[in-house]
Structure 1
Amino acid sequence: MKSLRFENIWLLSHRDKKARHVSFHPKKNLLRGRNHTGKTSLIRSIFETLGAKPQGKLESWDENTASLLEFSVDGCHFFALHQNGRRALFNANREMIVATSKFGEWSQAFCNVTDFNLVFTDKKESAIQPADPACFFLPFYVNQDGSWQSEWNTFGGLKRFSSPWSAILEYFTGVCPPEYYRAKAERAQESKALEESRREYKLLERTIERFSRTLPLSGPKLNPENFANEIALLTKEVTELNERQEILRSAAVKEQDLLSSLEQQIRLADEALAAYDHDAKYLRAGNSEPLICPTCNAEHTKSFLDLLNFAEDARVLRELAGRLRDDASEVRYRCSTASAKLSTVNENYKRISVLLDTRKGALKFEDVVGSLGAESAFAAFEAERQLLQEAIDKTLGVIDSLDEKMKLLRAPKRTRAILEDFRSHYMTGRVALQLPPVDVSKMKLAGRPDLSGSGGPRSILAYYAALWQTCQGAMGTFDVPVVIDSPNQQAQDDFNLPAVLQFIAKDLPDGMQLIVGLETETDFPFDREIHLDVKYSMLREDHWAETERIVEPLLEKMYVMMESDVAEV
């Protein structure tokens, strides 16, 4: 079983000149603070840094706050850096692995270092897509905005997959190994290809039947009037292509003008940054001469405020240059797309124009058909039918092979044993949380409880706990940190709330890392307590210097790498 642990997180707000550093214990952590003291902000930052965006929004939070998370996978340490959609991954020596503003690239890097290889098909079942960080953390994060109800609403963006909940839970509990889901996704694609081939085969059969009725094997093969009709259709198609070509040309010109403007702005920003670097070096020089006003000859000393202002201007320019490069990259992609479409239109236009020119000459369409004969036409149909039948037979063989592979991977005996453990854990949790017993003999892994009133959150907690205990079992695949944000839901009374806290502190698996956000003090033991005591100010001024020293060099590395990547493109 692979193990992931959160080690440290640093948060840095250049706007507020405040920061925060929090170190996590490998076992039980308590984030304690009243409402609006920043518990949720801190917890959300952990997941957003790793590319999993929870539901809900934060009020009065600097969206440009930089976050650096140190985490470990089987004892191997990594650093994940995030600022406003841009992310970078570093190894234990803080050497860069990847820097990107593209979510797909980041997800691939995260899955590589964690060895998380779950795959899905999209909703149209047209392509295989790898799972992302939100899929990885979904069973292990209980947040205030989407986890305490009867549906899976913890993270956004998961609905683009086709029914991911069951697959995610079966992956982590060990019901099916990752190879099962890869085979399942491949089977879905093959089934779609089979359906398409069969549809084409039926269409070809109808075409042959109609062709046989209108064109016998002897005598005239085609009516000459059809030639004139086809010329009219081709002329209409050329006209439509001309209109499409003009639209695409106009779009390409506009995108190219916008790209030129953005590249000019990037160049100006880079030149300004170079000037700032030169000026900053001069200001930092300790043995340089004082500044002398050319008008009044007054001497001015270099103050710390000057240095600070220059540093702040350079930071703003650097972020502006980063955003401009992102915009330029997107516009460059749109230019490339428009050019590709325009090229396709031009090719179709040339093809049809040549065809029209040929048919306007002395050659007649009926002469071509007559020379080929009906026999050639039927032979072509038959060859196409054989190709389609071969494709159908081949696809059926692949599907049968995948079905056999999935059957071997999903062992019924193992599935029953895991479900029995899960149901037993759920029943035990309900008893500990002061809930009446229920029949769980048919309960499924993805079957979240749907109970109203104060018992609803307790039943959800019992359900999550059953999942965590099952994942920690002998057949689980990952040991992932569990995060519970505010277990006091639906106004638990003085009888039920202590039962909830005791269950979290004492009854959950001992080996897993736990982070709990709580509003009040508790007598139940936690290995580390982080106290947040100032409303709307989780970040602190006294953490600024240390955090800036750690985060700022990595931010600079990230932006330099992203700038070089854009330049190469």
Structure 2
Amino acid sequence: MKNLLFKKLYLMSDLEQAAFQTTFDPKMTIILGGNSTGKSSLIKSLYWILGADPARVHESWPNLKVTGLLEFQVDGKTFFMFRHGSIFALFDDARILKESMQRVTSQLAPYLAKLLGINLVLPDRKGIPTTPTPAFFFLPFYVDQDVGWERPWQSFSGLKQFAGYHRSIVSYHSGILPDEWFVRRAELQQMAAEKGGLQSQATVVERSALALRQSVTHDALSIDQEAYEAAILRLLAELKKLREKRAKFAAALSDAIAQRTLLNDQFEVGRRALKELENDRQWLVERGDEPIPCPTCGTIHENNFAMRFGIIEDREACVAVLNELVDQMIEVKTQVEAAHLNLRTVDEQIAAAQQVLTIKQGEITLAQVIASEGQRQALSVFDQQAAEIEAKTGDLTTRIDSVKKLIRKLENKTRKQKIEAFFAKEITANMNLLDVKNVNLDKAQKIHHVIKDTGSVHPRAVLSYILSFVSTCFEHTTAITAPVILDSPLQQDQDPVNAKRIFSTIEARRPANAQFIVGSVSLNGYEMSGKRIDLTNERKLLQPNLYSEVSAFIDGFRSQMI
């Protein structure tokens, strides 16, 4: 596990002839500024320089054509990252250029992942194992004021490159799945792709051989009796092997069809349950606020928003299960189709082999013998290719089985339970400190749960989750730990009491070795320890009087790139 620490930030606009610079405390930095003072632009720039673009930026900021330089440390070693537009450059502690990059996905992401010791690999929308963009490296550590408090895990842009990334990111950063698990899964995906390619090659070779065997001359028409008998024996052996293969494919088809039937039955049960939940919700809506008597015990239940919202949550859970079943049904459908294709192919091969065996050693012409010999040599090449492909496939299968065993070993249930229990304890304590009430605690204690509360309690619930997850990362992760940036936690008009709760909880629950950067309009009278940056110039984060100094410093880096 490596630790990332921010030291100093430089921002400059040659267009505006203005600049900004500041340092950061290794423990706590508070950035205070009213609306339009550039507070959020400053905060958004930090991970932006490292290639993680914020979900939203003020429309005027891109027009400034800002150049950014971030001095940071990785496990105590200093580096500088330069960014201007889509150009990135990394410099060492001696300010010597190490690498210049222009593509985030193919260049910056792998390079930065290596520097930070990140082995996270996710399948893209085509199923190809890919090192994700830097946004996924820092996603748990940044809450953007425009998006993050409303929709957790959405503070960066460009996240749609990977479907269903949330569970993988949570498992990776929390340590539930160690760093090595993702390395091994990438190996497994790569080997599976190679095996698929070999199987495609094998199909081409088999079909080519089949087409050759179905031509006018046949392998049985060998030049001499000995070769003829050898061909017959080889064909008999091949026929036996094909029949064994067919039995295996037939069994696979039977299993896939049985699984498809089971999934169809489960989907039908879920569909009926979803319909019943929708009927229940509609029935409650039609009754308005009229209380509902229990037909069994006579207890009167309130027909309120909470009850209807509970049904909606159950409905969403039901929809999630149905979606998962649909994914499984699609996968099983693919298995059934593949099994059907395998059966057809092997049946064609069996028919071809049987056809060859029906040829008699009657009178043949010299031309037939010559043609047959050429065919025999061609089939020998096909047989050699098929044998090589089979050997490679067998080797890959062995390696795949070995990696699968290692992956199962890395999916340590005891470790998972320990981390989940740690998180549950943390979020329970944080919710108490932040006075988060009337939430489903059982759901909130699930580390993969996404907060969906409403009103002023929602940002405090999100903060409870973020602080708990960060604590879990610093305690258990095998991945990177990074500066925690909380931009404007005073959301939804928090009253003075809750405002104090928010800042005091942030200060009290910060892990001892974590760097926090908190931005806010004010602290509402709370005295928070740490470095304080006050922004007072309206609409002017970048200052003309700093341009000469900052531009001269940045030019020392930029000149090396030129």
Give the TM bin, normalised by the shorter chain: 0.5 to 0.7
**3-state SS in 2 of match to 1:479:** coil
Deviation >6 Å, runs of 4+? 218-221, 366-369
Structure 1 counterpart of 2:398 = 397
Structure 2 counterpart of 1:317 = none
Structure 1 counterpart of 2:542 = 539
What CA deviation, in whole Å up to 9, does each residue of 1:192-251 have, x standing for no partner?
333444455566666666765665738999xxxxxxxxxxxxxxxxxxxxxxxxxxxxxx
User: 1:321-470 maps to which residues of 2 (within 5 A)?
Assistant: 370=371, 372=373, 375-376=376-377, 378-436=379-437, 438-440=440-442, 444-470=446-472
Structure 2 counterpart of 1:491 = 493
What CA deviation, in whole Å up to 9, does each residue of 1:105-152 have, x standing for no partner?
3333323332223233333223x3224422221110000233223453
Q: 1:199 to 1:557 in 2, by over 3 A?
A: closer
What CA deviation, in whole Å up to 9, does each residue of 1:386-424 have, x standing for no partner?
334323322211110111221232322112111111122
CA contact (8 A) 1:432 1:503 kept: yes
Q: 1:47 to 1:382 in 2, by over 3 A?
A: same
Match of 2:109 among 100, 107, 112: 107
Could you tell me how far 1:450 is from its partner in structure 2? 1.9
Could you tell me how far 1:75 is from its partner in structure 2? 1.6
CA contact (8 A) 1:118 1:131 kept: yes
Structure 2 counterpart of 1:471 = 473
CA contact (8 A) 1:12 1:18 kept: yes
Structure 2 counterpart of 1:176 = 177
CA contact (8 A) 2:219 2:372 kept: no
* One-letter amino acid matched to 1:541: P
Could you tell me how far 1:32 is from its partner in structure 2? 0.7
**3-state SS in 2 of match to 1:501:** helix
Mapped to 2, the partners of 1:545 and 1:207 lie a distance apart of: 72
Structure 2 counterpart of 1:224 = none
Q: Does 2:28 correspond to 1:28?
A: yes
More deviation, 15-24/371-380: 371-380
Q: Does 2:128 correspond to 1:136?
A: no
Mapped to 1, the partners of 2:558 and 2:193 lie a distance apart of: 45
CA contact (8 A) 2:419 2:476 kept: no
* One-letter amino acid matched to 1:45: S
* One-letter amino acid matched to 2:16: D
**3-state SS in 1 of match to 2:3:** strand
What CA deviation, in whole Å up to 9, does each residue of 1:455-480 have, x standing for no partner?
22222211111110111215554331
CA contact (8 A) 1:48 1:54 kept: yes
**3-state SS in 1 of match to 2:184:** helix
Structure 2 counterpart of 1:319 = none
* One-letter amino acid matched to 1:37: T
**3-state SS in 2 of match to 1:401:** helix
More deviation, 81-90/434-443: 434-443
Structure 2 counterpart of 1:43 = 43
CA contact (8 A) 1:481 1:514 kept: yes
* One-letter amino acid matched to 1:552: D
* One-letter amino acid matched to 2:464: A
CA contact (8 A) 1:167 1:181 kept: no
Q: Does 2:76 correspond to 1:81?
A: no
* One-letter amino acid matched to 1:92: D
* One-letter amino acid matched to 1:558: M
Q: 1:199 to 1:92 in 2, by over 3 A?
A: closer
More deviation, 38-47/117-126: 117-126
Structure 1 counterpart of 2:516 = 514
What CA deviation, in whole Å up to 9, does each residue of 1:251-304 have, x standing for no partner?
xxxxxxxxxxxxxxxxxxxxxxxxxxxxxxxxxxxxxxxxxxxxxxxxxxxxxx
CA contact (8 A) 1:18 1:540 kept: yes
Structure 2 counterpart of 1:3 = 3
Mapped to 2, the partners of 1:390 and 1:557 lie a distance apart of: 52
Mapped to 1, the partners of 2:462 and 2:453 lie a distance apart of: 9
Q: 1:554 to 1:382 in 2, by over 3 A?
A: closer
**3-state SS in 2 of match to 1:473:** helix
Structure 1 counterpart of 2:189 = 188
User: 1:263-282 maps to which residues of 2 (within 5 A)?
Assistant: none
Mapped to 1, the partners of 2:77 and 2:393 lie a distance apart of: 48
CA contact (8 A) 1:117 1:131 kept: no
**3-state SS in 2 of match to 1:451:** coil
Mapped to 1, the partners of 2:481 and 2:17 lie a distance apart of: 36
Could you tell me how far 1:95 is from its partner in structure 2? 1.6
Structure 2 residues without counterparts, runs of 5 or longer: 223-366
CA contact (8 A) 1:111 1:132 kept: no
Mapped to 1, the partners of 2:435 and 2:43 lie a distance apart of: 28
Mapped to 2, the partners of 1:546 and 1:423 lie a distance apart of: 49
* One-letter amino acid matched to 1:75: G
Q: 1:212 to 1:501 in 2, by over 3 A?
A: same
Could you tell me how far 1:27 is from its partner in structure 2? 1.1
Q: 1:544 to 1:368 in 2, by over 3 A?
A: farther
**3-state SS in 1 of match to 2:78:** strand
What CA deviation, in whole Å up to 9, does each residue of 1:358-384 have, x standing for no partner?
xxxxxxxx9999354554455455444
Structure-2-length-normalised TM-score:
0.67
Structure 2 counterpart of 1:71 = 72
Structure 1 residues without counterparts, runs of 5 or longer: 222-365, 560-569
Mapped to 1, the partners of 2:198 and 2:110 lie a distance apart of: 33
Q: 1:374 to 1:555 in 2, by over 3 A?
A: closer
Could you tell me how far 1:517 is from its partner in structure 2? 1.0
Structure-1-length-normalised TM-score:
0.66
CA contact (8 A) 2:70 2:82 kept: yes
Q: How many residues align?
A: 414
Structure 2 counterpart of 1:59 = 59
Mapped to 2, the partners of 1:419 and 1:474 lie a distance apart of: 10
Structure 2 counterpart of 1:361 = none
* One-letter amino acid matched to 1:14: D
Mapped to 1, the partners of 2:479 and 2:101 lie a distance apart of: 29
Structure 2 counterpart of 1:152 = 153
CA contact (8 A) 1:122 1:160 kept: yes
Mapped to 2, the partners of 1:368 and 1:51 lie a distance apart of: 69
Q: Does 2:542 correspond to 1:525?
A: no
What CA deviation, in whole Å up to 9, does each residue of 1:403-452 have, x standing for no partner?
12212323221121111111221222222222225343795533322223
**3-state SS in 2 of match to 1:445:** coil
* One-letter amino acid matched to 1:56: R
* One-letter amino acid matched to 2:397: L
Q: Does 2:548 correspond to 1:548?
A: no
CA contact (8 A) 2:221 2:369 kept: no
CA contact (8 A) 1:2 1:477 kept: yes
What CA deviation, in whole Å up to 9, does each residue of 1:25-65 have, x standing for no partner?
11111111111110111011111211111111323224422
CA contact (8 A) 1:142 1:483 kept: yes
Q: 1:372 to 1:520 in 2, by over 3 A?
A: same
**3-state SS in 2 of match to 1:180:** helix
